[in-house]
Amino acid sequence: MKLFSARLGWLGAAIALALAAPAAAQFSDGYNFLKAVRDKDAVKAKALIDKPGSTIINTRDGDSGETALMIAIRRRDAPWIGFLLQNGADPNMKDRDGNTPLIVAAMTAFSDGVRLMLAGKAQVDASNGRGETALIKAVQMKDSASVQLLLNAGADPDRTDSFAGMSARQYAERDVRSGPVARLMEEAPKKDRKPTMGPSL
C-alpha cells in the first residue's frame, strides 16, 4: 500500500511538472527576449519573435512592467526602436507606473523617440498613473523639440494631471526658465472640448 501511495505521489508530481512546463518556458522566453534587447542581440531577439505563435514582442519586465520599446527608448536607440515597431511592438503598452513608450521618450527628453512613437501610432494624450501626458513631461524637461512634435500631433496643452491638477500650459507658465517651451505653449491654441452631454433645459 505504501509503495502504491508513493507511486501515486510521484505520478502527481510528474503531472504537475508537465503542466507547469509551458508557463515556465514562456517566462523563460520573455526573460531571454528582454535580455537580448538589453544586450542588443538582434539575432537572438528575432529568433524569439519569429517562434510560431509568439507574442514575445510585447513582454513586460516582471518587476517594472517595462517593455522592450521602453528599454530601447531609455538608451536612446533609434535603430532598435524601429526594429521593434516593425516586428509588431505595441507603442501604447504601459509599465507599472502607467507610462507608455511615448511618455518615457518625453520624460527622457528623447525627441527622436517621441517622433518614432508618434509615427508608430502612439496615443498622443495617453496619461500615466499621475495623470501626466507626454506633453506635460516634455514641458517639465524643457524639451522644445518634443513639445513641438507633440503639439503638431494634436496633444492637448490644457489637459490637467491628477497629481497637481495642472496642465502642460500651466507648468510652462509657472517655470520662468522654460524659455522656448513657454513660447510654444503660449502660442498653442486651445483644443475644442466636447460639451458634457445632459438634458437640455
Quick one: CA torsion of 121, 165, 162, 157, rounded to 10 degrees?
0
Please report the pLDDT score of residue 176 as a whole number.
73
**Cα 41 to Cα 37, 87, 91, 117, distances in angstroms:** 6, 15, 21, 22
Domains and CATH numbers, the chain: 23-89 (1.25.40.20), 98-189 (1.25.40.20)
Read out DSSP for 88-116? T--TT---TT---HHHHHHHTT-HHHHHH
Q: Which residues pair with 167 in a beta bridge?
A: 160
pLDDT at 193 over 70: no
Please report the pLDDT score of residue 27 as a whole number.
53
Q: How confident is the model at residue 97 (pLDDT cuts 50, 70, 90)?
A: very high
Whole-angstrom distance, CA of residue 72 vs CA of residue 82: 10
Full-model pTM:
0.80
